[in-house]
Amino acid sequence: MKKIEAVIKPHKLDEVKEALQALGISGMTVYEVKGFGRQKGHTEVYRGNEYTVDFVPKTKIEIVVDDDLAPKVEQAIVDAARTDRIGDGKVFTFDCEGAVRIRTGERGSEAL
């Protein structure tokens, strides 16, 4: 099993979700996060005084899938989340050692 974590632009979440559902993915976990990469932050001005906001709002997705599905999921996220502008985000893939469905006690791929 592989765990895939992706940090994307928040407004791209729906498109990514639909792309993953089209691959048959039946579940995912989503966080609202803040961070920065090459995009850096932006400047806000209140009553003439500038404040630099370093952390930009992003959405983070986590999914665990079977090994053979992982490259397709990775590519689906990249295709759906891409705007070709700076700040589109990143996708990370990790090995996942185990999974249990709490209700039934099913383990491994059965639990996904």
Partner 1 sequence: MPAVDTGSTAWMLVSTALVLFMTPGLALFYAGMVRSRNVLSSTMHSLFAMGLVSVIWAAIGYTLAFGGDHGGVIGGLSHLGLDGVVGAVTGTGPSAIPTSVFAMYQGMFAIITVGLISGAVAERMKFKAFVAFAALWSLLVYSPLAHWVWGGGWLQKLGALDFAGGTVVHIASAAAALAAALMLGKRKGYGTEELRPHNVPMSVLGAGILWFGWFGFNAGSALGSGQLAGSAFLATNLSAAAGMLAWTAAEVLTGRKPTVLGAASGAVAGLVGITPAAGFVGPMPALAIGAITGCLCYFGLRLKSRFGFDDALDVVGVHGVGGATGAILTGVFASVTVNSAGANGLLFGGGLALLGKQLVGVGATIAFSLIASAIILKCIDLTIGLRVDEESEATGLDVAEHAETGYEF
The least distance separating partner 1 from the CB of residue 52, rounded to whole angstroms, comes to: 8
List interacting residues with partner 1 (CB under 8 A).
44-49, 51-53
The least distance separating partner 1 from the CB of residue 45, rounded to whole angstroms, comes to: 6
Whether 93 contacts 109, CB under 8 Å? no
The two counts, helices (H) then strands (E), for the chain are 2, 6
Please return the burial class of 110, using the count of CB atoms within 10 Å of its CB with bins 0-12, 13-18 and 19+: exposed
Cβ proximity to partner 1: between 24 and 48 the closer is 48
The least distance separating partner 1 from the CB of residue 43, rounded to whole angstroms, comes to: 10
Cβ proximity to partner 1: between 50 and 84 the closer is 50
Cβ proximity to partner 1: between 56 and 99 the closer is 56
Whether 76 contacts 18, CB under 8 Å? no
